[in-house]
Amino acid sequence: MRIAVIGAGYVGLVTGTCFSEMGNQVICVDKDLTKLNQLRLGEIPFHEPGLDQLVRDNSAAGRLTFNSDIETAIEDVELVFIAVGTPAQHDGKADISFILQAARQIGQAIKEPLIVVNKSTVPVGTADRVRSTIEQTLKDRQQTIDFDVISNPEFLREGSAVKDFMFPDRIVIGTDSDRSRRAMEDLYAPFAKKEPRLHFVGVRDAEMIKYAANAMLATKISFMNEVALMCEKLDIDIEKIRLGIGSDPRIGPEFIYPGCGYGGSCFPKDVKAMIAMADEVGVKGDIFKAVENRNKSQKILLVDRLREYLGGSFKDRTVAVWGLAFKPDTDDIREAPAIAMIELMLNEGARINCYDPKALANARNLLGTENISYLDDQYAATENSDVLIVATEWRQFKQPDFRTLAKQLQAKCILDGRNIYNPKRVTDYGLDYIGIGRSRLIQ
């Protein structure tokens, strides 16, 4: 099939590349000329395992191209995917201005019947606004051209997005059009070969499914973090609770790991959007607000505990931080707990030595270099530091050299923001351990 994807960011590039991998002809459109030049050279502007090779392979095969002109890109295509950003506004509502801008450009460029697919995460009712925007633009042009607007939300996890796209657990398509349904069945047939994966629903249903899914996952995380705090007060190990409830198939083991909070480009933004949508329709949204509030508190929990451990002040103290990205296998630091902790400690007079396998450059651009050092080795970060905070569960952090850490850390303390260490093993090396829902066990 011939496909255009508007927006060559995270979602757009993964979408376009994976479609081209199946043999489709794909044009990715973006207004950032520097990014387009990078992509034409096979250089990916963010870290996503496996994506760079797919981009290079499909570009070399001529199936994947990049363009800055929407009119040229959508000429002779059957489907155009909108995959632009929908950042949170100050009131928590999703900003769909980029979506509507893309809709206007489509309306100005469309010449033949077309299926417009919203791939971005958008509030309920956005497809209606996209449709009316294109209709108005066509009316201004005095043109009458048949088109559909449908919803096909993405469920990609950073760090495993290529696998998620190529082997999806579900493909949600919101449409009331038989033509669009047939086209999407054809497009996604290779991705649902072994068993049915396609779920056809109404357009508004699809828009809500995406938000509800992310809000549910964020709720599980915040729920478990709150239970962890209770466990500390009751001298209970949260890890035993996690294993005990995770074995219940009605709950499952995913997203019930206590830690220093969630981050990234999706959960924080989408929970805010759910709060805003609930307010708009007269629903209190108390659960969503509680999820957000718990996460805000969770991000600075370890800083509060470290401050107390150090005697009430960060002055003249050096804190090593392992992990800056909001999760492993990405360089994304948006809403990352590590960033929130570092900013708070810097404001209170601490000096920071940090390390991350992929996110150092992004962190440097955001945080600057005053009282913060970016090291290219995890043990270089702990050298001459007082304490260590582990904020991201990268694999290389899971079995560190505790003997070396015991020699390096002046105040002899590890704060385990992801509960990846056995507290007793840490203390056996003469180090103090502070975790989430476990600390009282070793005090």
Q: What CA–CA distance (Å, rounded) separates 10 from 44?
A: 10
Angle in degrees, CA 71, 73, 78, rounded to 5: 105
Between helices 286-309 and 267-280, what is the axis angle to 10°?
A: 140
For 322-351, give one letter per residue: b (16+ CB within 10 A) or e: bbbbbbbbbbbbbbbbbbbbbbbbbeeebb
Candidate list 18, 28, 260, 266, residue with the active-site label: 266
DSSP H helices in 234-313: 238-246, 267-280, 286-309
DSSP track, 339-390: HHHHHHHHHTT-EEEEE-SS-HHHHHHHH-STTEEE-SSHHHHHTT-SEEEE
Is residue 251 classed as helix, strand or coil in its secondary structure? coil
Handedness of CA 303, 309, 315, 320 (dihedral sign): negative
For the CA atoms of the chain, what is the radius of gyration?
24
Tokens of 356: 């991350």
Give me the sign of the Cα torsion angle 364, 367, 370, 373.
Answer: negative
DSSP state of 156: P
> CA-to-CA distance for 397 and 399, rounded, in angstroms?
6
Collapse the DSSP code of 326 into the 3-class scheme (helix H, G, I; strand E, B; otherwise coil) and give the result. Answer: coil
CA gap 409, 384 in Å, rounded? 6
Beta strand residue intervals within 1-106, DSSP E:
2-6, 25-29, 64-67, 79-82
**Cα(259)–Cα(302) distance, integer angstroms:** 10
Find, among 440, 380, 422, 439, the residue nearest to 405 by Cα: 380
Q: Which two tokens stand for residue 301?
A: 């929990």
Q: Which of 110, 25, 16, 31 is nearest to 67 (CA)?
A: 31
Under 8 Å between Cβ of 173 and 120: no
Angstrom distance (rounded) from CA 189 to CA 183: 10
Closest CA to 162 of 17, 8, 41: 17
266 is annotated as an active-site residue: yes
Residues tagged active-site: 266
